[in-house]
Amino acid sequence: MIVAPNRAAALARLAEFAPHMGRDYAQGRNSDGGPGARCVSALSAHLRHRLITESEVIGTALARHGAAAAEKFIQEVFWRSYWKGSLELRPQMWRDYRRAVELAPQPRALRTAMAGETGIACFDAWVRELTETGWLHNHARMWFASIWIFTLRLPWALGAEFFLQHLADADAASNTLSWRWVAGIQTPGKHYLARAENIARFTHGRFDPRGQLNETAAPLDEAPPPAAGRLPLADPSPGGRVGLLLHEDDLGFWPEGCEVVAVGALVSPAERSSFGLGQVARAFTAGAITDALDRAGARIGQAPSRVALEGVARWARSGGLTRLVTPWAPVGWGRAALEDAAALCAAEGITLHRLRRPWDEACWPLAQRGFFPFKAQIPRLIAELQPLPP
């Protein structure tokens, strides 16, 4: 199901799927035909790394179908911006999640679940699909999380960590908050229970786990989300001669009003998951970074660099630079790496300017409450941001 980790492949898949972004998507988006099925765009990993952007994808849907016919597809793309904004305004939830992972017990049943040996055929098949392809249909992710939490009674944070280990589109905000929502702690008292009838219907009879699922479980009882804070201020663009430091959260960024004379990509030494990083996920991120560096290097006619965290200042000095720009890293494992890089640069008299895209600047502050108030703002956001096809 994974499209090759480069912009050219993403654009080709975007064009291929464009005819289906309207009523076809609205009618078929909940169906999971299994590995290789094409009811959805399969571009989530490219969006996560910003090999393509939300604006380009929504612009394609609007140009092909219009806002009314493509409403469901457009809303799904905006869910990504909503989740990111929600975590950006509540970074404590990420810290709480990381702490929950550290403290969670790891019973024998955890190893059984992660090996896909539970005896629940649908769950075990999803484990294989996840670990072998780096992807799961969104509906399957919900069923998987519900079975993990309520039937297998495993810590939700370890399930989220398992997803981070293997998903090519692993995203701190979407993953953490989606697992919280299934558990009933993101919207307190409202949880998601996987039901055998629903699984049988939307997998077209591939699976029918009747009698195997806990379909009456109560939501988990944990602290509700904290109140939304303020969106942190981004740095102003410095203008002039700069080095561009890309990272896995945004590999398509290019600063306006600057003369980019060197391009590097930060290769974070930290694993995104305490379980390590799955082979497919690792290969996708590595391929995406290579593609981004190749394109950016060609743009300036200079060989790009892969830069380790401790080598950022040295890389800047080698180019005679005192100013670097980097795309804003949202809350997650990449944020900490950038903050460390900024501190190391400052100690050497080099300023790292963290810039935010207009899309994020407009969308993230609106994630104050649930998705429905955010959704009401989508027409205004489209009018303001004017998304266009690539």
Determine the pLDDT at residue 269.
Answer: 55
Alpha carbon distance 15, 10 (integer Å): 9
DSSP for 305-339, please give it: EEEEGGGHHHHHHHTT-SEEEEEPPPSSHHHHHHH
The per-residue pLDDT for range 332-366, each reduced to its tens digit, is: 999 989 999 999 999 999 999 999 999 999 999 99
The one-letter amino acid code at 165 reads Q
Determine the pLDDT at residue 329.
Answer: 96
Secondary structure class of 60 (helix, strand, coil): helix
Secondary structure class of 340 (helix, strand, coil): helix
Query: What is 240-355's CATH topology?
Result: Rossmann fold (3.40.50)
Determine the pLDDT at residue 271.
Answer: 74
- Those residues of the chain that have pLDDT short of 70 are 1, 269-270
> Residue written as tokens 């849907």?
61
Structure tokens that stand for 78 in this block: 């905006």
Alpha carbon distance 301, 261 (integer Å): 9
> Residue written as tokens 């800047």?
316
Determine the pLDDT at residue 267.
Answer: 85
Alpha carbon distance 80, 74 (integer Å): 11
Q: Where are the domains of the chain?
A: 7-87+364-385, 96-202, 240-355
The per-residue pLDDT for range 101-124, each reduced to its tens digit, is: 999 999 999 999 999 999 999 999
Alpha carbon distance 14, 25 (integer Å): 14
- Which residue from 93, 258, 119 is spatially nearest to 180, judged by alpha carbons? 93
- Residue 306 sits at φ, ψ, to 5 deg, of -95, 125
For domain 7-87+364-385, the question of CATH label 3.40.309.10 is answered with no
Alpha carbon distance 268, 333 (integer Å): 9
Alpha carbon distance 97, 103 (integer Å): 10
Determine the pLDDT at residue 99.
Answer: 97
* CB-CB contact of 378 with 385 (8 Å): no
0.85 cut: is pTM over it?
yes
Determine the pLDDT at residue 32.
Answer: 92
Half-sphere exposure of 366 (CA within 13 A, CB side): 20
Look up the CATH number of domain 96-202: 1.10.579.10
